């Protein structure tokens, strides 16, 4: 515990130097037996209090999918630019937070929407929604690997982001299946048939695919060009997974990966079909609706 405290103190000092906002402050809070540390700068004292209050709402929701095995450090950054610098994610204007194995970098809620700040800023519930999403990532990463191995566990973006989005109940803010169908119709030329018709593979190479190739093409990946589409696809694909198989196989996948199985093997063992077959099934579900045969 002393080593952890010392490491956090060094991290706080380093971040303070980089931020240009004076020395960082570090608070500790325990929620349902889990330890969290909140790092922030003077101008975000109020935001830090809101994060503490929001953790009390978020942590019980996260427990449905697993339990954190390591304390989590939440750093409240004073600006979006500071968040991008800390996460090494440039040109991500939509980014509000980024999770790793035992840390979450969070853009201060007071800076999310300037006009909202004049009205009091986001509510505790809105902050809790974001924290739920990010904490589920931490639960996932801690379940499938160790502090130095979790980045080597290859989890598809749709599963990774879909689980977090569904856990945070964010379907209301995601584009629906109709938007996904339009993408396949307009880009892949598969609006009236099975996935892969029309431009098919060629279309995926040029434009990427929100389900199977969101990080393509290199240099201008689809998830960066159209984050709403990619996150919406992840949400509804994961919702499709739960509707078909329930929650138990999801927890089973994470447990199997924690014992060393690759994602593909773990998924097939729990769902009975390979991930690619499931992805094709979801695409058919979307594409064959057509959308509702153009109504």
Backbone angles phi, psi at 165, to 5 degrees: -70, -45
Write down the pLDDT at residue 1. 45
Global pTM reads: 0.87
Write down the pLDDT at residue 291. 61
Minimal CA–CA distance to 19: which of 72, 82, 76? Answer: 82
Distances (CA, A) of 38 to 74, 175, 207, 283: 5, 32, 40, 41
Chain centroid offset of residue 49 CA:
23
Tell me the C-alpha distance between 145 and 152, whole Å: 8
Per-residue DSSP letter, 209: B
Tell me the C-alpha distance between 135 and 146, whole Å: 16
> What 3-state class would DSSP assign to 292?
coil
| Domains, the chain, ordered by start | 2-152 (3.30.2010.30), 157-287 (no CATH)
Is residue 139 within 8 Å of 66, Cβ to Cβ?
yes
Distances (CA, A) of 238 to 116, 158, 168, 172: 31, 7, 13, 15
Q: Which two tokens stand for residue 219?
A: 């240099």
Tell me the C-alpha distance between 202 and 217, whole Å: 12
| Strand ranges of the sheet holding 97-99, from the earlier edge strand across to the other edge | 25-31, 34-40, 72-77, 103-107, 97-99
Q: What is the pLDDT along the chain (295 residues), one digit of tens a residue?
A: 444 444 444 344 344 444 456 899 999 999 999 999 999 999 999 999 999 999 999 999 999 999 999 999 999 999 999 999 999 999 999 999 999 999 999 999 999 986 555 667 899 999 999 999 999 999 999 999 999 999 999 999 999 999 999 999 999 999 999 999 999 998 877 555 444 444 444 445 568 999 999 998 888 899 999 999 999 999 999 999 999 999 999 999 999 999 999 999 999 999 999 999 999 999 999 998 876 655 5
Residues pairing with 75 in the sheet: 39, 105
Q: 283: part of which helix (H) or strand (E)?
A: helix 275-287
Minimal CA–CA distance to 133: which of 81, 87, 102, 170? Answer: 170
238 Cβ partners below 8 Å, 6+ apart? 158, 159, 162, 163, 165, 166
267 Cβ partners below 8 Å, 6+ apart? 159, 253, 274, 275, 278
Write down the pLDDT at residue 115. 58
- Scanning 20-156, the segments in alpha helix (DSSP H) are 45-62, 80-87, 114-118, 124-144
Tell me the C-alpha distance between 129 and 151, whole Å: 24
Q: Which two tokens stand for residue 178?
A: 């109709």
């Amino acid at each position: 515990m002393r080593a952890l405290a010392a490491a956090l103190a060094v991290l706080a000092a380093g971040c303070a130097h980089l931020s240009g906002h004076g020395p960082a402050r570090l608070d500790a809070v325990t929620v349902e037996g889990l330890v969290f540390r909140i790092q922030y700068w003077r101008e975000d004292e109020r935001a830090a209090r809101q994060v503490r209050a929001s953790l009390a709402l978020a942590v019980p929701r996260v427990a449905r999918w697993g339990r954190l095995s390591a304390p989590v450090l939440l750093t409240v950054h004073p600006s979006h630019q500071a968040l991008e610098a800390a996460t090494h994610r440039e040109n991500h204007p939509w980014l509000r937070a980024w999770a790793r194995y035992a840390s979450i970098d969070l853009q201060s809620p007071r800076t999310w929407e300037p006009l909202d700040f004049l009205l009091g800023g986001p509510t505790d519930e809105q902050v809790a929604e974001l924290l739920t999403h990010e904490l589920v990532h931490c639960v996932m990463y801690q379940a499938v690997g160790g502090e130095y191995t979790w980045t080597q566990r290859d989890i598809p973006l749709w599963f990774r982001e879909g689980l977090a989005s569904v856990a945070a109940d964010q379907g209301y803010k995601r584009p629906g299946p109709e938007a996904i169908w339009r993408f396949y119709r307009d880009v892949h030329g598969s609006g009236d048939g099975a996935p892969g018709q029309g431009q098919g593979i060629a279309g995926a190479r040029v434009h990427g695919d929100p389900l199977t190739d969101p990080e393509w093409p290199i240099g201008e990946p689809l998830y960066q060009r159209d984050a709403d589409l990619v996150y919406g696809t992840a949400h509804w694909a994961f919702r499709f997974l739960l509707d078909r198989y329930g929650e138990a196989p999801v927890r089973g996948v994470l447990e199997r990966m924690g014992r060393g199985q690759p994602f593909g093997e773990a998924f097939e063992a729990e769902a009975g079909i390979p991930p690619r077959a499931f992805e094709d099934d979801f695409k058919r579900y979307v594409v064959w609706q057509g959308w509702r045969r153009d109504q």
